[in-house]
Amino acid sequence: MTLETRSFPVLIEFEHVSKRYPERGDALKDLSFRLDAGEMAFLTGHSGAGKSTLLKLIGLLERPSRGSVRVGGDDLARLPRRRIPAHRRRIGMVFQDHRLLAERSVFDNVALPLVSAGMHRQEIGKRVRAALDQVGLLKLERALPLTLSSGEQQRVGIARAVVGRPEVILADEPTGNLDPDLSREIFRLFERFVEVGVSLLIATHDLDLIQSLGHRTLVLKQGRLVADAIPRPPTPEPEPEPEPEPAP
C-alpha cells in the first residue's frame, strides 16, 4: 500500500472540555490538549478514567457538555448533522475486540467503509488489496476471520481503519488481547502511518510498552488530564565489573 504524504496539518484540539452523563456524573473535566499532524500519542489511565469517552468525542459519537473539540480546524459542536458522515470518514477506528463480521471474508470486512461510502467496485478492490498488503495479509483476503490468529484479526481491523485513507487513527485498547511480542508488532505498524503524516491517538493500559516506545503520553485520572509528557526509557542496569584476578 502506498500512503499519500499529507501536505497540510491535521490537528485534534480540546479546549476546556467536560463531558457529563446524568446517570454517572463527569466523565471528563476541563480537558485541554492538542495533537499535531503526524504525531503518535498514547492515552492511559485507570479503568473509567475517561479514555473511551475522549475518543468518542473525536469521532462525534458523543458531544461535549462544555468546551470545544476541533478536528482539522472544524469545531465539532457546530458541525451540522449532514456533515457527520464525512467527518467520520476522516477518522479510522481500531478496537480491542476487532469487531469483524464472522461470516464475511477478510476482503469484505476491510471493504465495509468503502461500500458504505458508495465507492466504485474497482476502486474498492484496489484500496482493499493495498491496505491488506500494508498489514501483511494480502494472501488471506478470502479467509474467514475465525480462521485467523488474534494478531491477524487485529491486523484486519487496522486495514479496515486505514482503507479510507484517514487523517486520524483512534485506537481503543488495540493490543488488550495480544501477547507482548504481538503488541509491539502492532505498535510498530502504527508508527509507519505516522511517517506519512497520519495522527494517532491510542488508548492503552500497557505502561511498559508505552515507556519503551518513547512517544508522548497523556494520562487521565478521574476525567482530568494529570500528565502530558514523553516518558524516558528505563535506564539499563550497569554490568558488574569483573573481579580482579588474585595475585600469583
pLDDT in tens, 173-212: 988 878 888 888 888 889 888 887 889 999 998 888 888 8
The reply to whether 246 falls in a domain is no
The model's pTM is 0.84
| 54 occurs within a structural domain | yes
Q: Report if residue 243 sits inside a domain.
A: no
Strand pairing category for 40-45 and 224-229: unpaired
- pLDDT digits 0-9 by tens, 40-72: 999 999 989 999 999 999 999 999 999 999 998
Same-domain status, 141 and 192: no
Q: In the prediction, which pLDDT does 235 show?
A: 57
At 144 the pLDDT is: 96
Strands 91-95 and 168-172: parallel
Residues 14 and 72 reside in one and the same domain: yes
| Residue 157 domain boundaries | 99-165
104 shares its domain with 222: no
pLDDT value of residue 2: 46
Looking at the structure, do residues 77 and 174 belong to the same domain, yes or no?
yes
pLDDT tens digits, residue range 178-188?
888 888 888 88
Show the CA angle centred on residue 95, arms to residues 91 and 97, nearest 5°: 155
Residue 29 lies in a domain: yes
Q: How far apart are the first and last CA of the chain?
A: 67
* SS3 category, 160: helix
DSSP secondary structure letters along 110-141: HHHHHHHTT--HHHHHHHHHHHHHHTT-GGGT
- Return the DSSP state at 100: -
Sheet containing 40-45: give its strands across. Answer: 91-95, 168-172, 199-203, 40-45, 216-221, 224-229
Q: How many residues are present in the chain? A: 248
How far is 84 from 63, CA to CA, in rounded Å?
12
